Chain A
Amino acid sequence: DIQMTQSPSSLSASVGDRVTITCQASQDINNYLSWFQQKPGKAPKLLIYDASTLETGVPSRFSGSGSGTTFTFTISSLQPEDIATYYCQQYDNLPPFTFGPGTKVDMK
């Protein structure tokens, strides 16, 4: 099975800061990678898929990049409504589909 790691596990940032999260896969996942945002008590929301494609309606301050086994998620200018936990997830080939452990982003 493909294992996913994320770093950092948590971070604190100020409004307007650039925030970067890294996700690493245990093998090449052919860019089949999604990023989700989850706010407390809510279901996860798809933000980015295929490593860098922004889901319809998602603000352009969110972006994704990377290839092979290493991927990056960026918030270019952190807003108060971006406080959440962010998960990466791979969907290469057949199940099991695996998630990273999550990165909790809060306001400094």
Chain B
Amino acid sequence: EVQLAESGGGLVKPGGSLRLSCAASGFSFSSHSMNWVRQAPGKGLEWVSSITTSSDYKYYAASVKGRFTISRDNAKNSLYLQMNSLRADDTAVYYCVRDSLAAPGLFEYWGQGTLVTVSS
């Protein structure tokens, strides 16, 4: 069974940093591109970042480029999101999402999410 478990969320002050983690199990982690998608309270879904299988390519939404860094450790079956210079509008539930092998961006499995709150 595919499982994606996010952790690392919490309350942080504006300008602060946070590192999210996603522990993957139940599939060959190194074979799939991975993503972060977020959802602000009461709002819609927003793609944040993607990383290919060997970390060769990393993509970011314009809203987080230069502040967030996606990474992965295939030996540990883990995905990460380093978030710096956090702003109030980064407040959201952050989901770890697995791509299908069929197509990049086909979001096949989602974790339950971790809440990040940016507030003074």
Best-buried of A94, A96, A99 by chain B (most CB within 10 Å): A96
Which of the four size classes fits the interface of chain B? 20 to 34
B95: which A residues are within 8 A, CB to CB? 43-44
Q: A43-B95, A43-B112, A44-B110 are in contact. Are A97 and B100 (CB under 8 A)?
A: no
Say yes or no: B106 contacts A34, CB within 8 Å: yes
| A90 to B106 CA separation, bound complex (whole angstroms) | 8
The number of A-B residue pairs with CB atoms under 8 Å apart is 64
Q: Which residues of A contact B102 (CB under 8 A)?
A: 49
Across the two chains, which residue of chain A brings its CB closest to B105?
Answer: A91
Q: Which of B45-98 contact A (CB under 8 A)?
A: 45-47, 50, 59, 61-62, 95
Interface residue? B9 (CB, 8 A): no
Q: Is the interface of A mostly helix, strand, loop or mixed?
A: loop
Partner of B44 from the list A50, A91, A92, A102 (CB cut-off 8 Å) is A102
Size range of the interface on A? 20 to 34
Query: Which chain B residue shows the least CB distance to A42?
Result: B112
Candidates A46, A50, A96, A100; contact of B107 at CB < 8 Å: A46
* Sample (19) of A-B pairs whose CB atoms are under 8 Å apart: A32-B105, A34-B107, A43-B95, A43-B111, A45-B110, A49-B100, A49-B102, A49-B106, A50-B103, A89-B107, A91-B105, A91-B106, A91-B107, A92-B105, A95-B61, A96-B59, A97-B107, A99-B47, A101-B44
Residues of A within 8 A of B (CB): 32, 34, 36, 38, 42-46, 49-50, 87, 89-92, 94-102
Chain B neighbourhood of A46, CB < 8 A: 107-109
Flag whether B14 is at the interface (Cβ < 8 A). Answer: no
Q: Least Cβ distance of B59 to chain A in Å? A: 4
Whole-angstrom CA separation of A49 from B109 in the bound complex: 13
A43 contacts B45, CB within 8 Å? no
Q: Which of B46, B59, B103 contacts A91 (CB 8 A)?
A: B103
